[in-house]
Amino acid sequence: MNYLIIGGSKSGKSHISEQIALSLNKDKAVYIATMKPFDIEDEERIKNHIKAREGLNFITIEKQLSLHEIVNEIKENDTVLLDSITSLLTNEMFAGNEIVTDPSIKILTSLDLIMNKAENTIIVSDFIFNDSMEYDDITEIYKKELGIINRHLARICENVIECSFGNIKYHKGGN
Protein backbone atom coordinates (compact mmCIF):
# COMPACT_ATOMS: atom_id res chain seq x y z
CA MET A 1 0.00 0.00 0.00
CA ASN A 2 1.39 3.40 -0.96
CA TYR A 3 0.41 6.74 0.52
CA LEU A 4 1.18 10.32 -0.47
CA ILE A 5 0.53 12.82 2.31
CA ILE A 6 0.56 16.47 1.31
CA GLY A 7 0.03 19.59 3.38
CA GLY A 8 1.43 22.93 4.33
CA SER A 9 4.05 23.59 6.98
CA LYS A 10 3.00 22.39 10.44
CA SER A 11 -0.24 20.89 9.06
CA GLY A 12 0.04 17.62 10.96
CA LYS A 13 1.24 15.57 7.98
CA SER A 14 4.22 14.05 9.83
CA HIS A 15 2.02 12.94 12.73
CA ILE A 16 -0.60 11.44 10.40
CA SER A 17 2.09 9.67 8.37
CA GLU A 18 3.58 8.15 11.54
CA GLN A 19 0.15 6.91 12.64
CA ILE A 20 -0.47 5.32 9.23
CA ALA A 21 2.98 3.70 9.19
CA LEU A 22 2.42 2.13 12.60
CA SER A 23 -1.09 0.99 11.68
CA LEU A 24 0.42 -0.86 8.70
CA ASN A 25 3.29 -2.37 10.70
CA LYS A 26 3.29 -1.87 14.48
CA ASP A 27 6.44 -3.95 14.99
CA LYS A 28 8.81 -2.01 12.75
CA ALA A 29 8.62 0.97 10.43
CA VAL A 30 11.61 2.38 8.57
CA TYR A 31 11.70 6.17 8.85
CA ILE A 32 13.79 7.87 6.16
CA ALA A 33 14.58 11.37 7.43
CA THR A 34 15.71 13.73 4.68
CA MET A 35 15.88 17.08 6.45
CA LYS A 36 19.24 18.78 6.56
CA PRO A 37 19.15 21.38 9.34
CA PHE A 38 20.10 24.89 8.27
CA ASP A 39 19.29 26.78 11.46
CA ILE A 40 18.21 26.40 15.10
CA GLU A 41 14.53 26.15 14.13
CA ASP A 42 15.32 23.19 11.85
CA GLU A 43 17.34 21.52 14.62
CA GLU A 44 14.44 21.97 17.06
CA ARG A 45 11.98 20.57 14.52
CA ILE A 46 14.16 17.48 14.06
CA LYS A 47 14.48 17.02 17.85
CA ASN A 48 10.69 17.23 18.22
CA HIS A 49 10.16 14.66 15.45
CA ILE A 50 12.67 12.27 17.05
CA LYS A 51 11.06 12.72 20.47
CA ALA A 52 7.60 12.04 19.01
CA ARG A 53 8.87 8.72 17.57
CA GLU A 54 10.51 7.48 20.79
CA GLY A 55 9.36 3.99 21.73
CA LEU A 56 7.25 3.57 18.58
CA ASN A 57 9.39 0.94 16.81
CA PHE A 58 10.73 3.25 14.12
CA ILE A 59 14.14 2.51 12.66
CA THR A 60 15.49 5.84 11.43
CA ILE A 61 17.72 6.21 8.41
CA GLU A 62 19.13 9.71 7.99
CA LYS A 63 19.53 10.14 4.24
CA GLN A 64 19.51 13.64 2.86
CA LEU A 65 20.06 12.76 -0.82
CA SER A 66 20.79 9.86 -3.17
CA LEU A 67 18.04 7.59 -1.83
CA HIS A 68 19.00 4.87 -4.29
CA GLU A 69 21.99 4.17 -2.02
CA ILE A 70 19.76 2.78 0.76
CA VAL A 71 17.45 0.53 -1.27
CA ASN A 72 19.39 -2.57 -0.16
CA GLU A 73 18.67 -1.69 3.49
CA ILE A 74 14.92 -2.04 2.86
CA LYS A 75 13.27 -5.44 3.16
CA GLU A 76 10.27 -6.68 1.17
CA ASN A 77 7.98 -6.70 4.22
CA ASP A 78 9.03 -3.23 5.45
CA THR A 79 6.79 -0.25 5.90
CA VAL A 80 8.78 2.80 4.86
CA LEU A 81 7.95 6.38 5.84
CA LEU A 82 9.85 9.08 3.95
CA ASP A 83 9.71 12.56 5.45
CA SER A 84 9.95 14.67 3.34
CA ILE A 85 10.05 15.09 -0.43
CA THR A 86 10.40 18.83 0.02
CA SER A 87 13.63 18.52 2.00
CA LEU A 88 14.94 15.85 -0.34
CA LEU A 89 14.26 18.08 -3.36
CA THR A 90 16.09 20.99 -1.71
CA ASN A 91 19.08 18.76 -0.93
CA GLU A 92 19.22 17.28 -4.45
CA MET A 93 18.70 20.58 -6.25
CA PHE A 94 21.36 22.45 -4.26
CA ALA A 95 23.82 19.61 -3.53
CA GLY A 96 26.89 21.05 -5.20
CA ASN A 97 28.19 24.30 -6.59
CA GLU A 98 25.67 24.26 -9.43
CA ILE A 99 21.89 24.18 -9.28
CA VAL A 100 20.46 20.92 -10.60
CA THR A 101 17.45 21.88 -12.70
CA ASP A 102 15.90 18.41 -13.07
CA PRO A 103 16.32 16.61 -9.73
CA SER A 104 12.86 15.07 -10.05
CA ILE A 105 14.30 12.43 -12.40
CA LYS A 106 16.76 11.12 -9.79
CA ILE A 107 14.26 11.41 -6.96
CA LEU A 108 11.46 9.58 -8.79
CA THR A 109 13.82 6.82 -9.93
CA SER A 110 14.91 6.27 -6.31
CA LEU A 111 11.33 6.40 -5.02
CA ASP A 112 10.20 3.86 -7.61
CA LEU A 113 12.96 1.49 -6.40
CA ILE A 114 11.88 1.90 -2.78
CA MET A 115 8.17 1.61 -3.53
CA ASN A 116 8.69 -1.51 -5.62
CA LYS A 117 10.68 -3.16 -2.83
CA ALA A 118 8.80 -2.23 0.37
CA GLU A 119 5.41 -3.65 1.25
CA ASN A 120 4.12 -0.21 2.29
CA THR A 121 5.39 3.28 1.60
CA ILE A 122 4.21 6.55 3.12
CA ILE A 123 5.66 9.67 1.52
CA VAL A 124 5.31 13.15 2.99
CA SER A 125 5.42 16.23 0.76
CA ASP A 126 4.50 19.87 1.03
CA PHE A 127 1.87 21.90 -0.76
CA ILE A 128 3.46 25.22 -1.74
CA PHE A 129 1.33 26.18 -4.73
CA ASN A 130 -1.47 28.29 -3.26
CA ASP A 131 -0.21 31.81 -3.76
CA SER A 132 -0.22 34.00 -6.82
CA MET A 133 3.24 35.47 -6.43
CA GLU A 134 5.81 35.31 -9.16
CA TYR A 135 9.16 34.13 -7.91
CA ASP A 136 12.71 34.18 -9.23
CA ASP A 137 13.67 31.55 -11.81
CA ILE A 138 15.30 29.20 -9.31
CA THR A 139 12.25 29.16 -7.04
CA GLU A 140 9.98 28.57 -10.04
CA ILE A 141 12.17 25.60 -11.08
CA TYR A 142 11.89 24.24 -7.53
CA LYS A 143 8.10 24.59 -7.57
CA LYS A 144 7.91 22.93 -10.99
CA GLU A 145 10.08 20.01 -9.87
CA LEU A 146 8.00 19.53 -6.70
CA GLY A 147 4.87 19.57 -8.86
CA ILE A 148 6.32 16.89 -11.15
CA ILE A 149 7.15 14.69 -8.17
CA ASN A 150 3.81 15.20 -6.41
CA ARG A 151 1.81 14.52 -9.59
CA HIS A 152 3.73 11.32 -10.30
CA LEU A 153 3.27 10.10 -6.72
CA ALA A 154 -0.43 11.02 -6.71
CA ARG A 155 -0.86 8.95 -9.86
CA ILE A 156 0.85 5.81 -8.55
CA CYS A 157 -0.14 5.87 -4.86
CA GLU A 158 -3.32 4.09 -3.81
CA ASN A 159 -3.98 6.74 -1.16
CA VAL A 160 -3.52 10.50 -1.41
CA ILE A 161 -4.18 12.53 1.71
CA GLU A 162 -4.20 16.28 2.27
CA CYS A 163 -3.49 17.60 5.77
CA SER A 164 -4.61 21.01 6.89
CA PHE A 165 -4.52 22.17 10.51
CA GLY A 166 -4.54 18.57 11.74
CA ASN A 167 -7.53 17.62 9.57
CA ILE A 168 -7.16 14.95 6.90
CA LYS A 169 -8.96 14.68 3.60
CA TYR A 170 -8.60 11.66 1.33
CA HIS A 171 -8.38 12.64 -2.32
CA LYS A 172 -7.77 9.04 -3.34
CA GLY A 173 -8.26 5.81 -1.45
CA GLY A 174 -9.42 6.01 2.12
CA ASN A 175 -8.49 2.71 3.72
pLDDT tens digit at each of 175 positions of the chain: 999 999 988 788 988 999 999 999 988 899 999 988 888 988 888 888 788 888 888 999 999 999 999 999 999 999 999 999 999 999 999 988 899 999 999 999 999 999 999 999 999 999 877 777 888 999 999 999 999 999 999 999 999 999 988 788 999 998 5
143 CB-contact burial (10 Å; exposed 0-12 / middle 13-18 / buried 19+): middle
The total of other beta-carbon atoms located within 10 Å of residue 148's CB is 17
Active site residue 15: no
Give the pLDDT score at 113. Answer: 97
Predicted pLDDT of residue 127:
85
Closest C-alpha among 35, 153, 7, 26 to residue 79: 26
120 closest CA partner among 53, 51, 6, 26: 26
Q: Where are the domains of the chain?
A: 2-145
Residue set of the binding site: 7-14, 62, 83
Q: Distance between CA 145 and CA 90 in Å, rounded?
A: 10
Residue positions in the annotated binding site for GTP?
7-14, 62, 83
Asked if omega into 66 is within 30° of 0 (cis), the reply is no
Given 15, 49, 152, 171, which residue is catalytic?
A: 49
* Spatial distance between the Cα atoms of 48 and 34, rounded to a whole number of angstroms: 15
CA atoms within 13 A on the CB side of 125: 25
pLDDT score, position 175: 59
**Confidence (pTM):** 0.91
pLDDT at 166: 76
Rounded-to-integer distance, Cα 24 and Cα 31, Å: 13
At a CB cut-off of 8 Å and minimum separation 6, what does 123 contact? Answer: 2, 3, 4, 5, 81, 82, 85, 111, 153, 157
Assign domain 2-145 one CATH number from 3.40.50.300, 2.40.10.10, 2.102.10.10, 3.40.50.1220.
3.40.50.300
